[in-house]
Amino acid sequence: METPLDTTLPPVVPAPPRPRGHPLLRAALYLAAYILVQTALSFLFGALAFAVEDRFLPEEGFLRSTEFLLIAVALQAPLVVGLTWLFVRFLDRGTLASLGIRWPRGGRGVAMRQLVTMPVGVLALVGAWLLLILILPPALGGLRFGGISAAFSSGGPSWWPLPPALLLGVLLLLFLIQGGIEELIVRGYIYRALKERWRPWWAALASSVLFSLLHAANPNVSVVALLNIILAGLVLAALVERSGSLWSATLAHGWWNFAISCLLSLPVSGLRVFHLLDTSVAGDEKLTGGSFGPEGSLLLTFLGAILTTILWWRLRQDRRREDIAPSALEDVAGRSPL
């Protein structure tokens, strides 16, 4: 007895809703909304510092410190996430997960491994930069190591009542939050929007130029610093592209800022913060970065260009393998006698 053929058609899966408006317009509106929110909050926290500090904290200076600036940035996180959700929900007609707010490819196990591999990678990059500083001729640059900083040895700032090691932990968390906010804005929303019309490399380059311009008002910024921030943006975009998540880029971003400022005591993007070690560099500021920090160093440009090339070359190779695999399967199927 013959079994009747199943002629039932598979269920029709509705196509996802299309975003509203051109991606460049959405990205511009999103950036303008973020700048507006940040400006309003900056005025609010500035007014708080002016009104409260002179009355209650006249000598300690906490409300005008970089640490307070980091806390203020961290407090913006719910508003930034909420603003992003509104744009994604009503203009992009998607979810926050589509921006990379999810585990990387491979799931939670990969994410837990990256909790180790990302800091190790960042510290290796910092170590390579320090090595280049050390081998410079004395006339061009040099590194001075003064041991544990006086601020750490004395118990931390006067406004901090707990052991100073705990303050370092708090600062690491704040840097991770700050890095996460910037990753959500630049590599999350803007980079993803640009990829709707452009290839990943060009979307990464455009978003990295924007990332650099957002740092243009930082103290002691230079052309070399802006170039290095573009390279950093390309590295972070490669991490996002490779993992499909903002997780690894956030870890790398936060740990870089923490390692430079809190461990080495060097400026990070022109800003200084409470630190563990007392180190300083001297010499040609184009090579050492000077008062902007390593991000203003041509030596970091050299390392950043190598890292960018490696990461994006590997992405290109991965895409070629993905393109070849279906073609090979089709070729085998075409020669099959079945």
Within 13 Å and on the Cβ side, how many CA atoms surround 223?
1
DSSP line for 192-213: HHHTTTS-HHHHHHHHHHHHHH
Looking at per-residue confidence, does 131 or 16 come out higher? 131
* Residue 295 scores a pLDDT above 80: yes
Q: CA nearest 293: which of 262, 254, 260? A: 260
pLDDT of residue 61: 65
Q: CA nearest 203: which of 211, 212, 214, 192? A: 192
The alpha carbon of 151 is separated from its chain's Cα centroid by a whole number of angstroms, namely 28
* Residue 46 scores a pLDDT above 90: no
pTM for this predicted structure: 0.89
Tokens standing for 68? 């307070």
Task: Provide CB contacts within 8 A for 57, sequence distance 6+.
Answer: 63, 159
Query: What gap in Å lies between CA 233 and CA 214, rounded to an integer?
Result: 12
The alpha carbon of 67 is separated from its chain's Cα centroid by a whole number of angstroms, namely 19
pLDDT in tens, 120-132: 999 999 999 999 9
Output phi, psi for 201, to 5 deg.
-60, -45
pLDDT (mean) for 243-267 = 96
pLDDT of residue 2: 56
* Residue 7 scores a pLDDT above 80: no
pLDDT (mean) for 298-321 = 95
pLDDT in tens, 268-285: 998 999 999 999 998 999
Low-confidence winner among 135-139, 182-186, 333-337 (lowest mean pLDDT): 333-337
Within 13 Å and on the Cβ side, how many CA atoms surround 174?
20
pLDDT (mean) for 10-14 = 63
